[in-house]
Amino acid sequence: MVNVERIKKDIETMAEFTSTPGEGVTRLSFSDDDRKAREYIKEEMNKAGLKVYEDAAGTVFGRREGSKKRGKKAIPIMIGSHFDSVPHGGAFDGTAGVVAALEIARVLNEEGIVTEHPVEFVAFIEEEGSRFGSGLYGSRAIKGDVSVEQLKAAVDDKGISMYEAMKSFGLDSAKIGEAKREQGSIAAFIELHIEQGPILEHEGIDIGIVDSIVGISEYEVEIIGSPDHAGTTPMDLRHDALVEAADLIIYVNELAKTAGEGTVGTVGKIRVEPGAANVVPGRVTFTVDIRSGEQETMDEIWNKIREGIEALKEKGFDANYSNRLYVLPVKLDEDIKKFIEDGTQKLGYSYKRMASGAGHDAMVMASIAPTAMVFVPSKNGKSHCPEEWTDYEDLAKGIEVVFETLLSVDKK
């Protein structure tokens, strides 16, 4: 039986590993908090008798052997989510799915179940991209999508590259390629996650079965104008980088609204330099995050923004952009969705199929293994903020559903 007290303890303990105590969870990759959180996860995995290891990317795995040593059933089923967070985020985003994995390992032991497949319980890092700007890192490394060059190019706010940060953390960044797993080497990936939106709570539904996940494209844009004296430089002689950035930011918002059909566009991070009240902004750097169920829509919006950026060059600005993340919209596996549906019905819980507007490691895993996701309700739909909350009883229901699904996938 899934134990509510145990999952409460896991969530509460993990929430202590934050650099912003009292102001939400801030757990950046390869930080002290990452270290403490991964030690806790590994300790719990060890207690559950799992064989614990980290791959070349720093993703944590706990493996439980199955009864079959040869053939298709010797391929592992994976269950898990990520354990990094956004700045001042909540205690449940990602962590809920890691806790689900830990709890399922314990329940399998308590019920004396030996699966046919091995099961690998997984805790990914840098899913959010909060430190180095390009997320879904642990799963992309498994897909073979992260190169040494990318690690060297991705830098945090202090100018530390991911390559260096991993090395200081004790990982051999030059071996990132070894994290890759071949297509067909994972029997299934199942991720439990909080919904991060209001639908399940609003409709009084226990479980969300994710049909599809939106595509995400993320860019960093740099506009270079001229830093000048704010008192002496006439308005018509300025090259104010922030004014141009402001126009582009509004444009992102307008384009996403016009596209409709759930398309969203966000500028969530901006740096203004030199950053003084009495200096005309000379340089602005900002992110653009575009999401849509349709790749064409995602691309059309970016192309218009890109044209806007290019046009700045004719006005005497220097402007650059680079892509940070590009993941296509995905449909999740129909067979596993059906197993989730059956499990939910068996347990007597209500469910609905829904799309995910948030990105998840599942969207990358889906390209190398049959993949599915289970959502549990988020209080007031809040997420990526300290108020993020899911009742432990609701989380327990989701974990039970994933447990049932695992057994069905195993028997398939």
Q: Pick from 94, 133, 208, 377 the residue near Mn ion by CB under 5 A.
A: 94
One-letter amino acid at 244 equals E
Q: Alpha helices of 56-157 — where are they, by DSSP H?
A: 95-110, 137-143, 148-153
Which one of ligand GLV, Mn ion, none interacts with residue 154, CB within 5 to 8 A by kind?
A: none
Smaller CB separation from ligand GLV, 333 or 388: 388
Instruction: Mark residues 367-396: x for contact with ligand GLV by CB under 6 A, - for none.
Output: ------------------------------
Q: Are 60 and 123 in contact (CB under 8 A)?
A: yes
Smaller CB separation from ligand GLV, 329 or 359: 359
Question: Counting contacts by CB under 5 A, is residue 58 touching Mn ion?
Answer: no
List, as one string, the DSSP characters of 220-251.
EEEEE----BTTTS-GGG---HHHHHHHHHHH
Q: How far is the CB of 362 from ligand GLV (least distance, A)?
A: 11
Cβ contacts of 260 within 8 Å, gap of 6 or more: none
Question: Counting contacts by CB under 6 A, is residue 146 touching ligand GLV?
Answer: no
Smaller CB separation from ligand GLV, 66 or 129: 129
Which range of residues in 86-94, 104-112, 281-289, 388-396 is near Mn ion by CB under 5 A?
Answer: 86-94
Q: Pick from 330, 358, 372, 402 the residue near ligand GLV by CB under 6 A.
A: 358
Question: Counting contacts by CB under 6 A, is residue 133 touching ligand GLV?
Answer: no
| Nearest by Cα to 81 from 165, 14, 163 | 14
Q: How far is the CB of 329 from ligand GLV (least distance, A)?
A: 13
Which one of Mn ion, ligand GLV, none interacts with residue 359, CB within 5 to 8 A by kind?
A: ligand GLV
Beta pairing partners, 218: 289, 325
Q: Are 230 and 306 in contact (CB under 8 A)?
A: no
How many whole angstroms separate alpha carbon 217 and alpha carbon 231? Answer: 39
Which one of ligand GLV, Mn ion, none interacts with residue 66, CB within 5 to 8 A by kind?
A: none
Q: How far is the CB of 388 from Mn ion (least distance, A)?
A: 9
Q: Pick from 62, 359, 377, 398 the residue near ligand GLV by CB under 6 A.
A: 359
Cβ contacts of 45 within 8 Å, gap of 6 or more: 52, 60, 62, 102, 105, 121
Smaller CB separation from Mn ion, 31 or 173: 31
Q: Retrieve residue 220's tokens.
A: 């960093």
Q: Pick from 128, 206, 394, 404 the residue near ligand GLV by CB under 6 A.
A: 128
Which one of ligand GLV, Mn ion, none interacts with residue 394, CB within 5 to 8 A by kind?
A: none
How many whole angstroms separate alpha carbon 115 and alpha carbon 208? Answer: 26
Q: How far is the CB of 193 from Mn ion (least distance, A)?
A: 6
Helix H, strand E, coil C: the string for 283-345 is EEEEEEEEEECCHHHHHHHHHHHHHHHHHHHHCCCEEEEEEEEEECCEECCHHHHHHHHHHHH
Smaller CB separation from ligand GLV, 135 or 398: 135
Query: Which residues of the shown chain bind Mn ion in the complex (CB under 5 A)?
Result: 93-94
Query: Which residues of the shown chain bind ligand GLV in the complex (CB under 6 A)?
Result: 128, 135, 358-359
